[in-house]
Amino acid sequence: MPDTQQQLPKKSSDRTAQAESLFKSYMKEQQFRCTTERIAVLREVYRSNTHLDADEIFIQLKKKKIGISRATVYHTLDLLFKFHLVTKIDLGHKHTHYEKSHGVANHLHVICEQCGKVVEIRNNELANMLETLCKENGFELGSFSLQLFGSCIGEEGEKKCTEKPA
């Protein structure tokens, strides 16, 4: 797999700070109140290196004694999505997962349908190919997030996964 890590901008703390200031200016533009609760949702998503669902974010914030309602978490995630600061991904559960997207290279997710393991793959060739495909069809590629479903294979490369999800 070609290494595209070097394309990733700056440290994650810079990324979060940038995302935060973008969020604040978008919110101002759209005349939404940029409350500390909403900022806390953004920070939670950017702090995480995995794919969170709204409930997980809600629970994390509760643990930190941040007084926020589930509805506000959902609404804030929708705003973040609208401003291209998070991506929504379908990991084959019945609900949406979210991940940070500002300063994060486009990638695809390979998901094990048995155990739920998720592997992220970044690949330049694929990115270029998608860009070409878009151009050929009269589109300019913005961002992408792809999900592939399958079953993980053991070290020996033979045994298919039979694990139950945790």
Residues 6+ apart with CB under 8 A from 65: none
Q: How many residues make contact with Zn ion (CB under 5 A)?
A: 8
Does the footprint of Zn ion cover residue 112 (CB under 5 A)? yes
The residue from 115, 130, 134, 141 that contacts Zn ion (CB under 5 A) is 115
Burial class (CB in 10 A: 0-12, 13-18, 19+), 125: exposed
- Cβ distance to Zn ion smaller for residue 29 or 158: 158
Q: How many CB atoms lie within 10 A of CB 158?
A: 7
Least separation, in Å, of the C-beta of 45 and Zn ion?
11
Least separation, in Å, of the C-beta of 41 and Zn ion?
18
Does the footprint of Zn ion cover residue 152 (CB under 5 A)? yes
Contact between 103 and 46 under an 8 Å Cβ cutoff? The reply is no
- Cβ distance to Zn ion smaller for residue 41 or 99: 99
